[in-house]
Amino acid sequence: MQPGRKDLWFVPLGGTGEIGMNLNLYGHDDQWLMVDCGVSFDEPLVPEYQSETAQTSHHPIVCADPKFIVERKDTLVGICITHAHEDHVGAIADLWPRLQAPIYATPFTAEIMRRKLAERGLEGKAPVHIIPTDSDHTVGCFDISWITMTHSVPEPSGLIIRTPLGTVFHTADWKIDMSPGLGKSFNIKKIKSINEESELLAVVGDSTNATKPGQSCSESTCYHGLRETIRHQQGRVIVGCFASNIARIISLAKIAQETGRYLCVLGRSMDTMVSAARLTGYWPDDVELVNPQHVGYLPAHEVLLVATGSQGEPRAALGRLAADSHRLLTLDEQDVVIFSSIIIPGNEKAIEKIVSQFNARKVKTIQVETHNLPIHASGHPNRDELVQLYQWLQPEMVIPTHGEHRHMEAHADIAKSQGIRKTFVGKNGDLFRLRPQPSIKRGVIHAGRIVLSRD
């Protein structure tokens, strides 16, 4: 099954009908373009939480089964990575040997990817083209413009993919943030101009928060909420967040400076993000990090710790602090733990467990749902932002991705409410035909997940 000159196809192998492991394909004129190559965790994160084996169970990392495109790899002209989150880039080093196509990414994303390729001895073997942000690049028969959006990581890129049959806007992960705290604010003018040059055939995009009303919270609002919360604390402040949320870590770095605390990050994945941010110029020059080895010796009121494990993972930094088994630090009664993240469905019990471990030792905890100030901002668009997008763009059709079925249905309803008549809600392995006749052929392409080996 190959697209001909009169075909323009979209085929998701991962990330449509689920949140995680994004792997998308566009096909035209006997050529395929891959957009993203991510991983996911088999959920829930700690399903065996109540069992005795919970502390030692290893959680499998999975990615989309690439069989369909591997069988056609000679016609795969390139792999574009939209941003540095694991659900978009996490499987690149695992799958590249089977794909062998050139990779395209902006500098920060390329730096995160370089480390992954180096770990597998692929650095220098896999050709990586570093694309300046907001620039154009032709890959095979696809003319691509990289558009910087706002999200929770540097250089989140939407892709305008032009073919002789029409133009598609692949949003990837985005929100409208006029004050993102990291990089440029959302460029309304640029987004509006997408459909000025030619009719926009389709928007393929992020459905994560389509069921949520209103607008997403800006990172700067979250920064103010965190600063006010941290300012009044007497003891150590420990903030749990996702390592990939580098915008949040930079907000916390600024807050550390403003509140007279030293910043320390705990967790290998956080070290990786911080050092990539440093190398690519996103880390504020004047923020020094304290070596975790020294943090136990500092006066408590001078410590701001950022730790991995906000989903209750028992072996991550926060889990170890909760169980009082962290080799570098024991928390005291004056200390506070702030959860600056959402609860991923399925992880409630695991999080509850570490919260009660902290509370049993009289360490205070602060969570998003019960705190009176904003301490977390999602990186994805709520309803009003999607409405805005479709008012600006008015594409012929909308294909919701990056969500479970209910998120994608909500996304499609929003598009319809803005006068877009064609919406296609499908899932991994469906063939979305954009041209010649817009239609969806369900389940005609092999899709599944494979477990990746990790040491």
Binding to Zn ion by residue 85, rule CB under 5 A? yes
- Report the nearest approach of Zn ion to the CB of residue 173 (Å): 3
* Contacts (Cβ under 8 Å, ≥6 apart) of 35: 22, 24, 25, 26, 79, 80, 82, 159, 170, 172
Residue with smaller CB distance to Zn ion, 85 or 162 = 85
* Residue 173 or 219 with smaller CB distance to Zn ion: 173
Rounded CA-CA distance 394/259 in Å is 46
Residues 6+ apart with CB under 8 A from 152: 219, 244, 245, 246, 247, 248, 377, 378, 379
Q: Which stretch binds Zn ion (CB under 5 A): 78-86, 161-169, 308-316, 339-347?
A: 78-86
Segment lying near Zn ion (by CB under 5 A), choices 86-94, 185-193, 353-361, 421-429? 86-94
Minimum gap (Å) between residue 402 Cβ and Zn ion: 6
- Residue 6 gets which letter from DSSP? T
DSSP string, 134-155: T-EEEETTEEEEEEE-BSSSS-
Residue with tokens 């994608």: 408
d(CA 299, CA 295): 9
Nearer to Zn ion, 166 or 183 (CB): 183
Q: Which is nearer to Zn ion, 85 or 320 (CB)?
A: 85
Range 420-453 burial, b when 16+ CB lie within 10 A, else e: bebbbbbbbbbbbbbbeebeeeeeebebebeeee
Asked if 139 contacts 160 with a C-beta cutoff of 8 angstroms, the reply is: no
Q: Does 177 bind Zn ion (CB under 5 A)?
A: no
The CB-of-229 to Zn ion minimum distance in angstroms stands at 25
Q: Smallest distance, Å, CB 88 to Zn ion?
A: 6
Q: How far is the CB of 129 from Zn ion (least distance, A)?
A: 21
Stretch that binds Zn ion, among 85-93, 268-276, 405-413, 427-435 (CB under 5 A): 85-93
Q: What is the footprint of Zn ion within residues 179-218 (CB under 5 A)?
A: none
Which one, 24 or 365, has the nearer CB to Zn ion? 24
Spacing of C-alpha 309 from chain mean position: 16
Residues in 410-449 at the binding interface with Zn ion, rule: CB under 5 A = none
State the minimum distance, in angstroms, from the CB of residue 82 to Zn ion: 8
Q: Contact between 87 and Zn ion (CB under 5 A)?
A: yes
CA distances from residue 120 to 79, 105, 279 in whole angstroms, order as listed: 18, 19, 21
DSSP-derived letter for residue 36 is -
Please tell me the count of residues contacting Zn ion according to CB under 5 A. 3
Q: Give the C-alpha separation, 191 to 189, whole Å.
A: 6
Closest distance to Zn ion from the beta carbon of 381 (Å)? 12
Three-class SS state of 66: coil
87 or 111: CB nearest Zn ion: 87
219 touches Zn ion by CB under 5 A: no
Which of 154, 395 has the CB closer to Zn ion? Answer: 154
Query: In the set 36, 111, 173, 430, which binds Zn ion (CB under 5 A)?
Result: 173
Chain length of the chain = 455
Query: CB under 5 A: which stretch of 79-87, 176-184, 262-270, 324-332 binds Zn ion?
Result: 79-87
Q: Residue 267 pairs with which residues in a beta bridge?
A: none
CA distances, 67 to each of 72, 118, 215, 229 (Å): 9, 24, 39, 49
Identity of the residue, 87 or 430, whose beta carbon is nearer to Zn ion in the bound complex: 87
Residues that bind Zn ion (CB under 5 A): 85, 87, 173
